[in-house]
Structure 1
Amino acid sequence: MADNTPRSPASDTSIASDGYAGDPAVRAEWDNRYADRQQLWSGRPNGALVAEVASLTPGRVLDVGCGEGADAVWLAGRGWDVTALEVSGVALERAAGHARDAGVTVRWVHAALTEAALPSASFDLVSAQYPALLRTPDAAAERALLAAVAPGGVLLLVHHAGMDTPQADHGEFDPADYVWPSMVAALFDDDWKVEVDEQRPRTAPDGGAGAHHTDDVVLRARRLR
């Protein structure tokens, strides 16, 4: 049985790959993608996250799909108690190194969102920045995002505009395989208040994968109870 216990802070230990909870094929796909480049992303926090978090009081935050850790390290440096989730062990090792270099503590969880042993309704902020969440008939990923948010907390979901529709340059990528902000919004009931639901120009990084995208879809909602 897989060990689903969240990993220790980066200041205490490195990330072990044998505790992964999720589909091994998904882990291998993302490990290979990260291994192909010394650095996949820009190394800077996502602009929409920086903008939307400015008005929030630091508390417990879940960073879904943390990649190489730029958002997690940035949040921890601003007083947030950070749990960061990622399927790629290669990415987590890099993220843990960045956290050590920055002198901050982050809880690293090597798991898919739907398989992670996360405390329910316990995060003041759940941040998912351009996540690659696989769609399932039971909307497992969408429901996991909502379930993690504490009463009074905020869900912040950001994605590249236009990615949810087929494009000629997408190659083998099929948008129908993935979760998009509109699918999460469709699950909101009276317990949720949508604070932001818009498309806006992206604060694009100078480098890293995805830098060519110019617009974001930003969904921010608060759980009322």
Structure 2
Amino acid sequence: MSTATEPDETYVADVCEFFDRQYAAHARYWWRGENRYRLEPDLHTPFNALVLKIAASHAPGRALDLGAGEGADTIRLAKLGYDVDAVELSSVACQKIEDFARQEKVAVTVLNESILDVALEEGAYNLVLFNGSLHYIRDKSAVLERALSASAPGAVHVVALFSTATALSAEHSAVPVFPEPEGGGVELFYRNWDIRLLTYERDQPEHSHPGFAPHAHSYIKLIAQRPEGHR
């Protein structure tokens, strides 16, 4: 098990090993509901509904899904007309993204790399997602800066990550996780952006992970648009 004093490459390997195992053990680890690839906002949670509405209003364009998991967000964005780059650490998940995208008859680009050091084209993306990935990153500011450099003027960023308002379950504590305090560095990073949504969800019941006992999470959920001319 990694500790906070171990180098980044050690904890990243632990995260990769955990998710390779989870993705290999289950046909679908995330988004097991039949709405996974649907584009109608009213079929989704309020947060994901708003993401879909905003994404649709900015399509077509280029999108970057950082920590894409099994690719549900990636595939929905591709269906909206985006040219999507999906960055995912787990090689098992990358194969699943490609398989699921093929089944849904959309083309996406899958990059089997860490979001810590993946090469990103400068100023290329109109939409950037960190949906459930930043809490697996210790130095969030460095990743956010790299995502900013890859963002076009007016780009929208979508962020959802664990907050510290609820203690992690034993199952999630088995992998290195770095929740964010409410009002912390991630929110400060976006303080000069146009905030479309900032909400705290506390003690939300979670039943979706196969093999995990019922537990609760708290989240910070944020949607922000980069102002034209913002550095």
Which range, TM-score by smaller chain? 0.7 to 0.9
Determine the C-alpha separation between the residues in 1 that align with 2:79 and 2:204.
21
Counterpart code for 1:159: L
**How much identity, in percent, do the aligned residues show?**
24
* In the alignment, structure 1 residue 198 sits paired with structure 2 residue 199: yes
Q: Distance in 2 between matches of 1:52 and 1:63?
A: 13
TM-score using structure 1 length? 0.73
Shift of 1:116: 0.4
Is residue 17 of structure 2 the alignment partner of residue 28 of structure 1?
yes
Judged with a 3 Å threshold, the aligned counterparts in structure 2 of structure 1 residues 69 and 97 are, in CA distance, closer, same or farther, namely: same
8 A Cα contact 2:15 2:175, kept in partner: no
Give the equivalent residue in structure 1 for 2:161: 159
In the TM superposition, 1:57-206 aligns within 5 A as 57-58=58-59, 59-131=61-133, 132-136=135-139, 139-160=141-162, 163-165=163-165, 167=167, 169-170=169-170, 173=173, 177-178=177-178, 180=180, 182-188=184-190, 190=192, 192-199=193-200
* CA deviation vs aligned residue, 1:126-150 (integer Å, no higher than 9, x gap): 11111143213x8322323333321
Please state how far the C-alpha of 1:216 moved relative to its aligned partner.
4.6
Q: 1:106: how far off?
A: 0.4
| Letter paired with 2:127 | L
| Structure 1: runs of 5 or more not aligned | 1-21
Structure holding more helix per residue: 2
The 10-residue stretch of structure 1 (196-205 or 39-48) with the greater mean CA deviation from structure 2: 196-205
Match of 2:223 in 1: 220
Q: Structure 2 vs 1, CA of residues 69 and 176 (structure 1 numbering), >3 Å: closer, same or farther?
A: closer
Q: Distance in 2 between matches of 1:104 and 1:41?
A: 19
Equivalent residue for 1:9?
none
How many Å apart are 1:98 and its aligned residue?
A: 0.5
Task: Report the Cα distance in structure 2 between the residues aligned to 1:39 and 1:126, rounded to whole angstroms.
Answer: 23
**Cα deviation 1:149-192 (Å, max 9, x = unaligned):** 211011110235xx4246273467299952537422212354x2
Paired letter, 2:199: E
Residues 206/134 of structure 1: CA separation in 2 closer, same or farther (3 Å cut): closer
- CA separation of 1:126/1:145 partners in 2, compared to 1, >3 Å: closer, same or farther? same
Seen in structure 2, the aligned counterparts of structure 1 residues 204 and 164 have a Cα distance that, compared at 3 Å, is: closer
Helix, strand or coil at the partner of 2:111: strand
Pair 141,189 (structure 1): closer, same or farther in 2 beyond 3 Å = same
Q: Return the alpha-carbon distance in structure 2 between the equivalents of residues 168 and 32 of structure 1.
A: 20
Distance 1:169 1:216, change over 3 A: closer
Partner SS for 2:63: strand
Partner amino acid, structure 2, of 1:157: V
> CA separation in 2, counterparts of 1:24 and 1:35?
16
Contact map agreement 1:141 1:179 (CA 8 A) in 2: no
The alignment yields a C-alpha RMSD, in angstroms, of 3.4
- Provide closer, same or farther for how the CA distance between residues 110 and 215 of structure 1 changes in structure 2, counting only shifts above 3 A: same
Corresponding residue for 2:50? 51
TM-score (norm 2): 0.72
- C-alpha distance in structure 2 between counterparts of 1:173 and 1:164, whole Å: 13
